[in-house]
Amino acid sequence: MAKQLFYSLYAWEPANLLLVASEQGLFRIEFVRPGEEDRFLTALPPTVHLVKDERAFDKVRPQLDVYFSGKPVDWQMALDVSSGTDFQQLVWSALRRIPYGQTITYGQLAQSIGKPGASRAVGAANAANPLPVIIPCHRVVAGNGRLGGFSGGLHIKQALLRLEGALL
């Protein structure tokens, strides 16, 4: 049986956000350049039935509007992170506790979940984060002060950190 997912685009400069939701909640956010939406949509397995539905994101859009206006948001929406392993979900939960406008290192994040030697595993869990912005993996930087990686590209990570005032 096919899993039904709903999608919509949210316009933001420097990249649009492709929002995807399941019946359980917001399922995925992908940063896409205008015209590249099909790259993600056609990469889904055939067991997924995708339906464009703007109304599925009525609670998400106003909160994104506040966030992208440069204000902190206490995200109030159902999230579907069922695709993650237990470890990934532990990391994603810790990411949600990083305050707006602040950064921590991968090592500090590993320490905060009680796994001080797991910096690389924490980095891998960050890379697998299905909901960037909502689960703020952009707030994690390398121990040497560099930005590290970001699934949407370093220019997006820089833009998010600048928006929050964490990067000048």
Residue 97 class from Cβ within 10 Å (0-12 exposed, 13-18 middle, 19+ buried)? exposed
3-state secondary structure of 138: helix
pLDDT at 2: 67
The residue written with tokens 């990249």 in the block is 15
Question: What pTM value is reported for the model?
Answer: 0.91
Can 137 be counted among the known catalytic residues? yes
pLDDT in tens, the chain (168 residues): 668 999 999 999 889 999 999 999 999 999 998 777 777 777 777 788 889 999 999 999 999 999 999 999 999 999 999 989 999 999 999 999 999 999 999 999 999 999 999 999 999 999 999 999 999 999 999 988 788 888 888 999 999 999 999 975
Side-chain half-sphere exposure of 103, counting CA atoms within 13 A: 23
Of 21, 79, 137, 140, the catalytic one is 137
Distance CA 125, CA 22 (A): 21
Write down all domains in the chain, each with its CATH number in brackets. Answer: 3-68 (3.30.160), 86-163 (1.10.10.10)
